[in-house]
Amino acid sequence: MGDNLRSLDAILANPNGLSDTELNRLRGERVLGAAAILLHQQGEAASAALAADVTSTHLFLWDTDFGMSTYKAVLEVEPHLLLRYTDDALEQIIDAMRAVTARDSKMAVGYIEAVPTIPEVSVDWRKQLRTASGPKPTNQARRARLEPQHPMEDGLHFTNEWEHRVYSVLKERQAALPDNETIGIVPLGAMRVRSHTYEPDLLITYRGRAGVIEIDGPHHKGRASNDKSRERLLRNAGIHYIDRLDVQDTTQKQEVEKFVTDFLKHLGG
């Protein structure tokens, strides 16, 4: 069992000071986390990845009968991912959650539902929405545009400062290249591949080829299996080269410059 699940067990064993809402969420995280690991161990990588992409999980008391409490699992997911949570996919996840709780004589998961995560709303939400929508429809940075604070440059949106730093170096490299050998930079563009919609951090075009740069944040650890599945789908869709940059390596500009040099060398062939 992972350290995070052990920590959840300790909290749930001594829930003093926690509200019912928080307990529902923590209990849901505990059950879904164990179910995701079980799915991975059973070779159900796609279902395990779907479980990992859930933003938060809540277990709500649904029914009580003969001392057994039946719960409804509500999975909150990013709106653009919601269509991935089909009835078949949810059935696999709830089966794993039932297996996790099978030894608990007082608890069972009877129902499951996927709902969209509600975005944070600022006081001036009308301006927030107009800024997000813009005068023309666009798939660029769909999630980032609804955040009240996010970096912008050249009419482009970025999730965070790390992505913006890499963009700045790419833009400098773009300006230094001759007109007949330049690069294209597409931040956070929605991209549909087989059965999935992805939003690569940076899509780069160079010398007739397309590549992807992913910038891994501090909460990215433990998702190597999901990364490999995603990268395989991107390569099958025509992405020539994919590389990843840890956010810790974006603090020094020379490190980003070295990464960009190596990336373009591999992409350009």
Amino acid letter, residue 138: T
- Cβ neighbours around 244 below 10 Å, total: 14
CA–CA distances in Å: residue 163 to residues 44, 113, 152: 32, 33, 10
Determine the distance from the C-alpha atom of residue 45 to the mean position of all C-alpha atoms in its chain, rounded to a whole number. 16
pLDDT the model gives residue 138: 59
**Mean of all residue pLDDT scores within the chain:** 82
pTM: 0.51
List all residues 6 or more positions away from 9 whose beta carbon is below 8 Å from its beta carbon.
Answer: 30
CATH no. for residue 45? Answer: 3.30.300
Residue 17's φ and ψ, nearest 5 degrees, are 90, -5
- Listed residues 99, 116, 133: the one ending a domain: 116
The CATH code of the domain that includes 161 is 3.40.960.10
DSSP classification of residue 242? E
Pair 99, 145 in one domain: no
**Tokens coding 156:** 């482009």
**189 DSSP 8-state letter:** B
**Residue 8 in this model has a pLDDT that exceeds 90:** no
Token pair of 118 as six digits:
């509600």
What letters, b where the CB count within 10 A reaches 16 and e where it falls short, cover 95-106? Answer: bbbbebbeeeee
Assess whether 81 and 144 both reside in one domain.
no
Which one is predicted more confidently, 251 or 127? 251
Q: Which two tokens stand for residue 13?
A: 């064993």
* Whether residue 230 is found in the same domain as residue 153: yes
Are the C-beta atoms of residues 210 and 238 closer than 8 Å to each other? yes
pLDDT category of residue 126 using cuts at 50, 70 and 90: confident
Encode pLDDT of 144-186 as tens digits. Answer: 655 556 788 888 888 888 899 999 999 999 999 998 989 999 9
In order, the DSSP letters of 100-156 are HHTT-TTEEEEEEEEEEPPPP--TTHHHHHHHHH-SS---BTTTGGGSSS--EETTE
Q: Let me know whether 108 and 88 are in one domain.
A: yes
pLDDT of residue 19: 78
The domain in which residue 56 lies consists of 3-116
pLDDT digits (tens, 9 = 90+) for 178-235: 989 899 999 988 888 887 888 899 999 999 999 999 998 765 555 565 678 889 999 9
Domain shared by 12 and 131, yes or no: no
Residue 101 falls in which region: left (phi positive, over 0), alpha (psi -120 to 50) or beta = alpha
Residue 122 has pLDDT above 90, yes or no: no
The number of distinct structural domains making up the chain is: 2
Among positive and negative, which fits the CA dihedral 44, 45, 47, 51?
positive
Task: Clarify whether residues 144 and 40 are in a common domain.
Answer: no
pLDDT at 256: 94
208: its two tokens? 């007739």
